[in-house]
Amino acid sequence: MTALDQALARLPLAHPGPGGAVAVLKEGQVLARHTWGYADIATRLPFTPATLFRICSITKQFTCALARELFPDLEPLNAPIRAAQPLLGANTPSALHMAHNQSGLRDYWATAMLSGAPVEGHFADAEAAALIARTESLHFTPGTQYSYCNQNFRLIGEAVEQLTGRGFAELLRAHVFDPAGLPTARLCADTSAMPDGTIGYEGSLEVGFRPAVNNIIWTGDAGIGASLDDMIAWERFIDATRDQPDSLYHRLTVPVSFADGNMAGYGFGLGRPVLFGHPASSHGGALRGWRSFRCYLPGPRISVVVLFNHMGAAHVAGMDLLRAALGQDDSHPSPQALPDSRLPGTYLDTENGLIARIETAGPGQLRLHYAQNPELLDRQADDSAGTGGTTLRRGGDGITMHRAADNRTTRLIPATGPADTDLAGRYHNAELDAVFTCTTEGGIAYGAFSGPLGQGEMQILQPDAAGLWRLPMPRALDHTPPGDWTLRVLRDGTGRISAIEIGCWLARQVMFTRI
């Protein structure tokens, strides 16, 4: 049995759920095309390579492919994008900024929660348009940094529709799916159901699996459904056209930079990581009940696709298959013995107002809680830590954190002191017309948001230091939550709380003034 056979055999049990599908290709030829389990466990509808999955945020590269095919420099899209955000005026980011996730817009998957969206509430075109139209500020200058932002791609898709006078689904079929040979891929914008009866699931082996409830309309950001065979066709199309300078995929993978000239690791709806020493183009995807991942390594000409109808770690599964296809050893060297690190603790990023928590993880590793998901960092002998694009280095009374992917270097200062006792009250943000309500029922602090999208659930607040609290969000409008919200307390000259600055990596520095 080959290493790839072994990886395929252990994958369903390593990532348990109702079903899934994977493919591995080399030089355009299929090495593995495997499905297992059920598209609907109640009706016992089995998975096949023709079963539709939600490919989630993999949609973004198809949106950019369509835009580049019709408007090569994307410049004509700027006018309708400005019209959709009339309050931004001259600060409106360009379509190129959006395609590279350099727009500076706060992600509407996060700001929807600040606006009171119920966890399983309805969010369709009208709600999206109204939330986007309220935008009047950014959390960084366009082109200077990277931050994932879903409505970037919704706005690109809607601008293409307005300029052509044709529907997004029709345009995708004519200009991307048919030329690339994807016969059944389609826009499945309504996430409440799939056209072939496939169901996405939440849950685990311990508590069981239940159908995920989705009441969302996603379009250019996460709206496409495709089968394993569709995705195999996409990978073969990529490989077949890899050396053509004017090919569609080649135009999506051209080098991208920030305004300061630093190279960017994301562009035109594609991440550009280095995987096992090879430059790659890749993207993952996640909605409630669905996980997906695909990557292509042009050097060895290897592609991997993973599709789950549950919330397993598709990216991890993809890396295991890629490692096996490359013949890489999956053993890990034993970490060197190191003295206890001085890095663990709670810190404040004063530039963005976000809490950074550093804790000891496995041998030779630290865990950083800062962005949407925790990051494992390898410790070094000089008591620095880093992996991939994030490094931490102590200096003076704090830590310097460099995040290459975000194009940011920032200072983390220790957060200390007793928790606030006067947090209870109501706080208003005018841009979103949203209210944050804090109570102290039975001596425990709770908080929740309400606004144009409804009334959110009360959550227990976690005190971190004087003036710093966390609002955990275990469930959100869709996908996994945007990460814990940092609550940064601001006081006036009398010492009374005047405002709370609320933010997460996807939506930073949102000011709520005390009512």
Catalytically active residues are: 57, 60
Contact 200, 288 (CB under 8 A): yes
What CA–CA distances, in Å, run from 28 to 24, 77, 232, 303, 363?
10, 34, 9, 8, 40
Query: Nearest CA to 354 among 513, 471, 265?
Result: 471
Specify the residue for token string 């009334």.
455
The residue assigned the tokens 């389609």 is 186
C-alpha to C-alpha distance for 405 and 384, rounded to whole angstroms: 19
Q: Where are the alpha helices (DSSP H) in 3-42?
A: 3-14
Q: How many Å separate Cα 51 from the centre of its chain?
A: 25
Distance, C-alpha 232 to centroid of its chain: 23
Task: Write the burial class of residue 122 (CB in 10 Å: 0-12 exposed, 13-18 middle, 19+ buried).
Answer: middle
- Under DSSP, the state recorded for 118 is -
Residue 229 and residue 50: Cα distance in Å, rounded?
6
Specify the 3-state DSSP secondary structure of 288: coil
Residue with tokens 């004509």: 76
| CB neighbourhood size of 187 (10 A) | 22
